[in-house]
């Protein structure tokens, strides 16, 4: 009888039994980052999920899945707050930032020239005031061709440096593009509407309240978190500005929530 029972177990049955005995791994690929690991990273965007969560960590699998669906490889859970829905199954909203990489973007230190004109990196170009912004239009196959023509125009204007501010489609049918190029003198002055001149080298700058009254944002975004002071809010707003390809930003509004709770921050973005 024993021999007959043993014959019932074929190779497939044994393989299945082994697989079932192995530890169950997270089927979602996005990995969690600690606060320290996420500190110097620029998020793709903020995501949120609503469900029955007693604490933020309970939402890890659901956040990982949502990050996967958004095409991200990493996530950092930031905060949790009570859900404001009529669904009794929803007890909390969990917010997280998602990322493509867990490595800070390397900063190019070496000065680059093209057609005898210095190509300013983004951080330097935004910090200094150009003496002129020129516009031109053309049909280009790649950014290298655009940079070549932009540098030639900069050389004709006797500029020390240039920076391509924007490339936008002009005529989709004919594949034409509108290009804005900022031109700089060697002794260019610092922009007077930047809030702090001590942050030279950043990829987005906060503007003054006076500038806020006169500048027109191209978009207003919001994000969530628990912050101890305005400096922390500004630093987080800067990350979101960079993620949205903004050159400048202004913290327009902060929700007046009780201490220790989640705040909503509204930020104006500018080119």
Question: What pLDDT, in 10s, does the model give residues 86-97?
Answer: 776 668 999 999
DSSP string spanning the chain?
-HHHHHHT--HHHHHHHHHHHSPPPPS--PEE--HHHHTTPPPSEEEEEEE--SSGGGGHHHHHHHHHHTT-SEEEEEEEEE--SS-TT--EEEEEEEES-SSPPPPP-S-EEETTEEE--HHHHHHBPPSEEEEEEEE-SSHHHHHHHHHHHHHHTT-SEEEEEEEEEEETTTTEEEEEEEEE-TTPPBPTTBS-GGGTT-SSEEBPHHHHHH---SEEEEEEE--SSHHHHHHHHHHHHHHTT-SEEEEEEE--PPTTS-EEEEEEEE-
pLDDT for the residue numbered 108: 57
pTM of the model: 0.79
Residue-level pLDDT at 111: 82
Q: With a cut of 80, say whether residue 9 has pLDDT above it.
A: no
Domains of the chain: 23-99 (3.30.1660.10), 112-184 (3.30.1660.10), 197-270 (3.30.1660.10)
| pLDDT given for residue 104 in this prediction | 79
Tens of pLDDT, residue by residue over 68-113, are: 999 999 999 999 988 877 776 668 999 999 999 998 765 556 789 9
Residue 45 has pLDDT above 90, yes or no: yes
Q: For residue range 127-175, what is the model confidence (pLDDT) as tens digits?
A: 999 999 999 999 998 999 999 999 999 999 999 999 999 888 876 666 7
């Amino acid at each position: 009888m024993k021999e007959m029972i043993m014959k019932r177990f074929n190779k497939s049955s044994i393989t299945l039994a082994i697989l079932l005995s192995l530890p169950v791994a997270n089927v979602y690929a996005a990995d969690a980052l600690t606060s320290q690991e996420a500190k110097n990273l620029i998020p793709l965007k903020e995501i949120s999920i609503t469900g029955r969560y007693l604490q933020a960590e309970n939402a890890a699998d659901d956040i990982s899945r949502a990050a996967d669906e958004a095409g991200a490889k990493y996530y950092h859970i930031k905060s949790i707050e009570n859900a404001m829905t009529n669904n009794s199954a929803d007890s909390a909203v969990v917010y997280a930032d998602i990322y493509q990489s867990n490595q800070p973007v390397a900063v190019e230190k070496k000065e680059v020239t093209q057609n005898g004109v210095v190509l300013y990196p983004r951080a330097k170009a935004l910090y200094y005031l150009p003496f002129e912004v020129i516009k031109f239009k053309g049909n280009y196959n790649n950014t290298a061709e655009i940079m070549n023509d932009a540098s030639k125009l900069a050389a004709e204007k006797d500029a020390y440096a240039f920076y391509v501010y924007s490339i936008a489609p002009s005529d989709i049918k004919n594949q034409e593009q509108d290009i804005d190029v900022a031109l700089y003198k060697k002794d260019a002055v610092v922009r007077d509407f930047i809030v702090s001149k001590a942050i030279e080298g950043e990829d987005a700058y906060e503007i003054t309240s006076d500038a806020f009254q006169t500048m027109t944002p191209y978009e207003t975004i919001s994000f969530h978190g628990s912050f101890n002071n305005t400096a922390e809010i500004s630093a987080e707003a800067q990350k979101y500005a960079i993620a949205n390809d903004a050159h400048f930003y202004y913290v327009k509004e902060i929700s007046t929530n009780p201490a220790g709770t989640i705040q909503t921050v509204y930020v104006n973005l500018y080119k």
